[in-house]
């Protein structure tokens, strides 16, 4: 997931902190060294991970209440992100988490049993204290995705630009029919890689066409997945 959400949609263009990339001298292996603010990138509870060996804990399906409140899409040079007005919520751990934004990674950041997917969406939620919960959904190659069909023509082609959406979008259309999921503790997958993020990755993928993945890649011009990080003893439950 991307880390600038707390700055709010209106300042997403400002670009704070040291420049970072997905390759080369400012790539993932260097993130922790780019600025002291990125110390957590060298931490022990980092994301993404390869999801395997889940311990069965009888997790109940996730409960969301999503509204059509996505109102703009931003190209920040690192990803393409839809920002949400308040009103879409996730119930978790007896608290209410508000959907702030969702954004995409191609190829996927998390893996499942060693498998990468062509695309992953991260739905980023925060509770009233700023604790983060991210719902990940994998896209496997197949039929055209109807939710992406509405969004893709509106993606801003230039970095550091944004478009107002023609009609408000709900994140509900990105979810698989069944809400069974894996859960683990992790981090932001971009600098400053802050830990303590509740990760919830849906077990069932949805589909995306080869053409839709290619269209995303042609706008971003580069892969935007951090490599998988060591679990370091963390337990994944389902």
Residues that bind Zn ion (CB under 5 A): 1, 122
Q: Residue 189 Cβ, how far from Zn ion at the closest point, in Å?
A: 5
Of the residues 78, 103, 105, 111, which is catalytic?
78
Please, which residue, 6 or 55, has the CB nearer to Zn ion?
A: 6
- Looking at beta carbons, which residue is closest to Zn ion? 1
Q: Residue 1 Cβ, how far from Zn ion at the closest point, in Å?
A: 3
Q: Residue 95 Cβ, how far from Zn ion at the closest point, in Å?
A: 21
Distance CA 55, CA 149 (A): 36
Please, which residue, 111 or 122, has the CB nearer to Zn ion?
A: 122
CB 185 within 8 A of CB 102: no
Please give the structure tokens belonging to residue 85. Answer: 């007005």
- Judge whether 122 counts as a catalytic residue: no
Please, which residue, 60 or 84, has the CB nearer to Zn ion?
A: 84
- Which residues participate in catalysis according to the annotation? 78
């Amino acid at each position: 997931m991307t880390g600038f959400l707390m700055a709010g949609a209106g300042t997403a263009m400002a670009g704070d902190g040291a420049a970072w990339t997905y390759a080369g001298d400012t790539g993932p292996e260097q993130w922790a060294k780019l600025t002291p603010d990125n110390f957590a990138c060298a931490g022990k509870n980092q994301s993404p991970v390869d999801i395997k060996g889940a311990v069965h804990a009888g997790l109940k399906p996730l409960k969301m209440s999503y509204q059509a409140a996505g109102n703009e899409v931003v190209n920040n040079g690192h990803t393409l992100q839809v920002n949400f007005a308040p009103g879409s919520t996730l119930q978790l751990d007896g608290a209410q988490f508000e959907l702030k934004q969702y954004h995409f990674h191609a190829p996927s950041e998390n893996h499942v049993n060693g498998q990468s997917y062509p695309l992953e969406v991260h739905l980023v939620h925060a509770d009233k204290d700023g604790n983060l919960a991210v719902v990940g959904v994998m896209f496997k190659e197949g039929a055209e995705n109807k939710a992406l069909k509405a969004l893709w023509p509106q993606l801003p082609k230039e970095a550091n630009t944004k478009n107002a959406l023609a009609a408000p979008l709900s994140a509900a259309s990105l979810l698989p029919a069944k809400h069974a999921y894996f859960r683990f503790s992790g981090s932001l997958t971009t600098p400053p890689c802050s830990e303590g993020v509740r990760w919830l990755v849906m077990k069932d993928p949805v589909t995306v066409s080869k053409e839709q993945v290619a269209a995303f890649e042609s706008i971003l011009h580069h892969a935007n997945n951090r490599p998988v990080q060591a679990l370091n003893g963390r337990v994944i439950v389902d």
